[in-house]
């Protein structure tokens, strides 16, 4: 007999979202030789272990320049530290430079990756069983999972045009929509970005309906070749309707696990929403590793706060790969048997096929064809079959991409035969 | 009007535990010149920024010795990584060497500090509104806060002799006691340690009542001078009744924010409890910064897995300070006006006084006497007045301790006059 019955543990542990993440991790470990068009990890092309001491030294020098004595410099990096973080001022400057977002450092909570920023925000916003979170379907698995962990139900919004209707229907059902989670730039998994008019419209709805927008922006610095960036929701936000979820995993260094949340909303207690999130953080992770923060802080100082400039080479890699991916699909499927998105940036392309794509097919693709991808069904909160899969082009070389596409084409072609 | 009403946010945000932590942090920032007998931080005596690149190099060399090629070494330290961590094998060896605890590396989840280990464990164990956590009162604020964040009520156990009665009473009330949180070695805040017979008795109760013991052990390596260590509950645990919460904050480096949980319990799904905690972790922090893990991994390799050996100097400092503290109290209060504990190790002494000790008194002590300490009321989950305060001796020199004690004696003496 087992020591613990799963039925006596928290319901999220049997939920699709948490097991989905687990399954996807496991399959990639199980087929290490397969080419992965599944992983959304950043390129490892420029990884350099020597960067870490270099960034640490840069950050320590910055502390000295600010007048801190040696014991205080050492304490800042090596001791327990401020719950809201030690690189908040540097993050604030980076947001001004890269995003034209102007917020007080005190409105920023530095987190153990963007995932903790999501978790803290959803935990704060879930007061009772009537609270719900809205999100575009398909949605990033990380937000669905974080919502499950804090017992916050999610209502899918199939299309932005329906947002208002979903809000009103939820209210009619006695529910309290707390926020709308959205990735306006090159979303995971859809690859879509919202046009400027839609961004303004979203802010209008947020104001009219007294709704927070939870803006997640991991991919904004990576538009496709020739595509200009659009302002983030937070840059357009004049009424503090946007909670901005920030990540350095793709633009800084994933191994630092440093993210942040901008929460400049005022709270009736007199402080900022960031201060409430900080209280929660003190009971979740106490503070974000100051060593890890110093690495990111050093990188921000090193690039004079412009991660856009620091990621020029990465941007070109992703833009090239995205072109190779969509051109490669066009070359291999000239006849219209399948369709795919041609995103204006980011890491992800969605391929629609005339058959349901499930985990069994992924396992078959990995085992028999040597190529990994992600069933789009993982990004929906229902058991309904989904005829689509997500391809990622961030963690492969163009040559691997070509081989991966050959394998994928063979797999899809075989499936097309089987499904007719 | 504020953007957010506090009443619409999660109840933990108005809870004593979360605001207590906040208040204690704020007062120490507000009176930086005061001598702090409040902070439970480890000594900064041996902090050295050069340790970080040294430990990182040591860990990278270890990966190479294990046959990993350079891209894989870089990826292991700089990329997203395994949810359960990358230093689990090293932690397992450290537990064998320092604690005579023998567990499979797969039963370990490396966490963003021990606080995340607590949060994940409590989240997993809270399935519905009948679940409760038991803990000795006074209890560490971090466990109370984590319980609040996951909506898990805590039942105080005033004395270990009453544990069984509290369990039975809870069951009679339709509640389900999920675990008993305990710090058997030099507990925060009481300073107490459990004798060997009590440890065995606790394991017997856990077996008889089908209760998990959540053992937290941040101070075990720091017995007072001449005191021998006792085996941890986990070292005595033959039936997987103990979930072991581990911290490197005091024995490794606080700035790494690396902790772990040993959860070798089997679950009816076929895996280990550690695997369920890992699923939750993927939605809380994704993974613990591998850079931070590499720092701790390098330190573990550097000391050949014996943190006992690596912390010999620290142990002497804490033991000396503890003696200075208790001797200093005896010298200043020879007449029995107040009493205090003489712990057999750790950082904390509890002083009992004939007046209620609250936050207003702490503020007065900080402002007028220049000495900080912690009201014991912060460690109880009720509003009842508590006539005691906690002193910590870990983050001060013996000279500072003497000055701090002079100031504390002046403060207490004045209060004794006022209260008579």
**Distance (Å, whole) CA A349 – CA A347:** 7
Annotate B357-372 with b (16+ C-beta within 10 A) or e (fewer).
Answer: beeebbeebbeebbbb
pLDDT value, residue A123: 98
Q: Kindly identify which residue of chain A lies nearest to residue B256, measuring between CA atoms.
A: A289
Task: Please indicate whether, in this complex, the C-beta atoms of A80 and B8 are within 8 angstroms of each other.
Answer: no
Question: Best mutation site among B9, B16, B278, B299 for testing chain A: the one with the most A CBs within 10 Å?
Answer: B9
Pairing assessment for the beta strands B108-111 and A388-392 based on DSSP bridges: unpaired
What is the pLDDT averaged over residues B373-400?
Answer: 95
pLDDT value, residue B86: 98
**Distance (Å, whole) CA B216 – CA A271:** 33
Burial class for B413, CB neighbours closer than 10 Å (0-12, 13-18, 19+): middle
Cα distances (Å, whole numbers) of residue A258 to A181, A222, A413: 20, 19, 42
Task: Please indicate whether, in this complex, the C-beta atoms of B292 and A289 are within 8 angstroms of each other.
Answer: yes
Show the DSSP H helices in A126-229 as ranges.
141-149, 163-172, 196-209
Q: At A39, is the pLDDT very low, low, confident or very high (cuts 50, 70, 90)?
A: confident
Return the half-sphere exposure (C-beta side, CA atoms, 13 A cut-off) of residue B234.
29
Q: Which residues of chain A make contact with B400, given a CB cutoff of 8 A?
A: none
Residue position matching structure tokens 């300490």:
B373
Cα torsion angle, B274, B212, B232, B235, sign: negative
- Residues 104-133 of chain B with CB under 8 A from chain A are 112-113, 115-116, 119, 123-127
User: In chain A, helix, strand, coil percent, each to 5?
Assistant: 50, 15, 35
Pairing assessment for the beta strands B259-262 and B242-247 based on DSSP bridges: antiparallel
Of B149, B256, B276, the CB nearest to A289: B256
Give the closest residue to B85 by CA, choosing from B261, B240, B267: B261
pLDDT value, residue B21: 79
pLDDT at residue B1 tops 80: no
Which position has the higher pLDDT, A23 or A290?
Answer: A290
pLDDT at residue A186 tops 90: yes
- Helix H or strand E segment including B103: none
Annotate B45-65 with b (16+ C-beta within 10 A) or e (fewer).
Answer: eebebebbbbbbebbbebbee
Burial class for A48, CB neighbours closer than 10 Å (0-12, 13-18, 19+): exposed
* Strand, coil or helix: A298: helix
Beta carbon pairs, A and B, within 8 Å: 285
Residues B378-391 pLDDT 10s:
999 888 999 999 99
pLDDT value, residue B26: 85
pLDDT value, residue A381: 85
Give the closest residue to A70 by CA, choosing from B229, B260, B49, B372: B49
Residues B271-317 pLDDT 10s:
999 999 999 999 999 999 999 999 999 999 999 999 999 999 999 99
Task: Please indicate whether, in this complex, the C-beta atoms of A113 and B286 are within 8 angstroms of each other.
Answer: yes
Please indicate if any CB of chain A lies within 8 Å of the CB of B7. yes
Residue position matching structure tokens 């070389």:
A397
The 3 state secondary structure assigned to B158-212 is CCHHHHHHHHHHHHHCCCEEEEEEECCCCCCCCCCCCCHHHHHHHHHHHHHHCCE
Is-contact B347 B392, C-beta < 8 A? yes
B80 contact partners, CB below 8 Å, separation of at least 6: A41, A249, A254, A255, B286, B287
- Helix H or strand E segment including B116: helix B113-125
Domain architecture of chain B: domains with CATH? 6-46+311-419 (3.90.1150.10), 51-307 (3.40.640.10)
pLDDT value, residue A23: 85
Which position has the higher pLDDT, B275 or A39?
Answer: B275
Is-contact B340 B350, C-beta < 8 A? yes
Q: At B19, is the pLDDT very low, low, confident or very high (cuts 50, 70, 90)?
A: confident
In DSSP terms, which residues pair with B371 in a beta bridge? B35
pLDDT value, residue B245: 98
Question: Best mutation site among B142, B255, B263, B277 for testing chain A: the one with the most A CBs within 10 Å?
Answer: B255
pLDDT at residue B420 tops 80: no
Of A12, A240, A290, the CB nearest to B3: A240
Our CA angle for B110, B139, B107, nearest 5°, is 20
pLDDT value, residue A293: 98
Of B22, B268, B282, the CB nearest to A4: B268
- Residues 149-168 of chain A with CB under 8 A from chain B are 149, 151
Question: Best mutation site among B284, B299, B378, B396 for testing chain A: the one with the most A CBs within 10 Å?
Answer: B284
- Residues 74-93 of chain B with CB under 8 A from chain A are 74-75, 77-81, 83
Task: Please indicate whether, in this complex, the C-beta atoms of B47 and A74 are within 8 angstroms of each other.
Answer: yes
**Interface pTM, i.e. ipTM:** 0.97
**Distance (Å, whole) CA A271 – CA B26:** 14
What is the pLDDT averaged over residues A233-255?
Answer: 97
Task: Please indicate whether, in this complex, the C-beta atoms of A123 and B4 are within 8 angstroms of each other.
Answer: no
Please indicate if any CB of chain B lies within 8 Å of the CB of A4. yes
Is-contact A195 A163, C-beta < 8 A? no
pLDDT value, residue B17: 87
Q: At A21, is the pLDDT very low, low, confident or very high (cuts 50, 70, 90)?
A: confident
Q: Which residues of chain B make contact with A125, given a CB cutoff of 8 A?
A: 9-10
**Distance (Å, whole) CA A183 – CA A192:** 9
Give the closest residue to A261 by CA, choosing from A50, A112, A72: A112
Measured in whole angstroms, the distance separating CA A245 from the mean position of its chain's CA atoms is 9
Q: Kindly identify which residue of chain A lies nearest to residue B59, measuring between CA atoms.
A: A49
CA distance B134 to chain A (A): 17
pLDDT at residue A420 tops 80: no
CA distance B213 to chain A (A): 13
Please indicate if any CB of chain B lies within 8 Å of the CB of A142. yes
Question: Best mutation site among B78, B273, B281 for testing chain A: the one with the most A CBs within 10 Å?
Answer: B78
Q: At B73, is the pLDDT very low, low, confident or very high (cuts 50, 70, 90)?
A: very high
Q: Kindly identify which residue of chain B lies nearest to residue A44, measuring between CA atoms.
A: B75
Task: Please indicate whether, in this complex, the C-beta atoms of B112 and A290 are within 8 angstroms of each other.
Answer: no
CA distance A122 to chain B (A): 9
Q: At B108, is the pLDDT very low, low, confident or very high (cuts 50, 70, 90)?
A: very high
Residues B157-195 pLDDT 10s:
999 999 999 999 999 999 999 999 999 999 999 999 999
* Strand, coil or helix: B26: helix
A343 contact partners, CB below 8 Å, separation of at least 6: A186, A191, A192, A193, A224, A322, A349
Q: At B39, is the pLDDT very low, low, confident or very high (cuts 50, 70, 90)?
A: confident
In DSSP terms, which residues pair with A272 in a beta bridge? A266
Burial class for B403, CB neighbours closer than 10 Å (0-12, 13-18, 19+): middle
Give the closest residue to A135 by CA, choosing from A123, A122, A116, A149: A122
What is the rounded average pLDDT for all residues in chain A? Answer: 96
pLDDT at residue A380 tops 80: yes
Q: Which residues of chain A make contact with B112, given a CB cutoff of 8 A?
A: 112, 116, 257, 285, 288-289
pLDDT value, residue A382: 85
């Amino acid at each position: 007999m087992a020591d613990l019955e799963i039925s006596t543990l928290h319901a999220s542990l049997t939920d699709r979202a948490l097991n989905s993440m687990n399954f996807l991790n496991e399959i990639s470990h199980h087929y290490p030789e397969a080419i992965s068009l599944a992983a959304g990890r950043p390129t490892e092309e420029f990884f350099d272990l020597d960067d870490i001491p270099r960034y640490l030294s840069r950050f320590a020098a910055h502390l000295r320049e600010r007048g801190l004595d040696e014991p205080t410099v050492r304490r800042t990096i090596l001791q327990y530290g401020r719950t809201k973080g030690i690189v908040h001022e540097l993050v604030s400057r980076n947001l001004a430079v890269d995003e034209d977002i102007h917020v007080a450092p005190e409105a920023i909570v530095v987190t153990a990756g963007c995932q903790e920023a999501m978790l803290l925000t959803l935990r704060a916003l879930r007061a009772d069983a009537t609270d719900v979170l809205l999100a575009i379907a398909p949605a990033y698995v990380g937000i669905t999972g974080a919502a499950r962990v804090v017992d916050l139900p999610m209502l899918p919004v199939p299309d932005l045009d329906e947002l208002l209707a979903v809000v009103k229907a939820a209210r009619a059902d006695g529910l309290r929509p707390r926020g709308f989670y959205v990735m306006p730039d090159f979303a995971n998994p859809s690859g879509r970005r919202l046009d400027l008019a839609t961004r303004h419209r979203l802010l209008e709805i947020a104001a009219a309906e007294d709704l927070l927008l939870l803006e997640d922006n991991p991919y904004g610095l990576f538009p496709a070749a020739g595509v200009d960036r659009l302002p983030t929701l937070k840059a357009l936000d004049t009424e503090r309707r946007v909670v901005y979820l920030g990540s350095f995993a793709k633009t800084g260094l994933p191994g630092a696990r440093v993210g942040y949340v901008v929460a400049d909303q005022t709270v009736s207690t007199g402080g900022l929403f960031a201060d409430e999130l900080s209280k929660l953080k003190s009971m979740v992770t106490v503070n974000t590793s100051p060593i890890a923060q110093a690495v990111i802080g050093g990188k921000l100082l090193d690039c004079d706060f412009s991660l856009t400039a620091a990621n020029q080479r990465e941007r070109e890699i992703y833009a090239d790969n995205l072109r190779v991916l969509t051109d490669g699909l066009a070359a291999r499927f000239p006849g219209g048997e399948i369709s795919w998105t041609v995103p204006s940036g980011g890491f992800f392309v969605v391929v629609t096929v005339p058959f349901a794509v499930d985990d069994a097919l992924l396992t078959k693709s990995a085992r028999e064809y040597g190529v990994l991808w992600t069933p789009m069904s993982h990004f929906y909160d229902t058991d309904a079959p989904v005829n689509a899969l997500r391809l990622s082009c961030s963690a492969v070389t163009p040559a691997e991409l070509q081989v991966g596409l050959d394998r994928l084409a063979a797999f899809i072609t075989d499936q097309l035969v089987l499904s007719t």
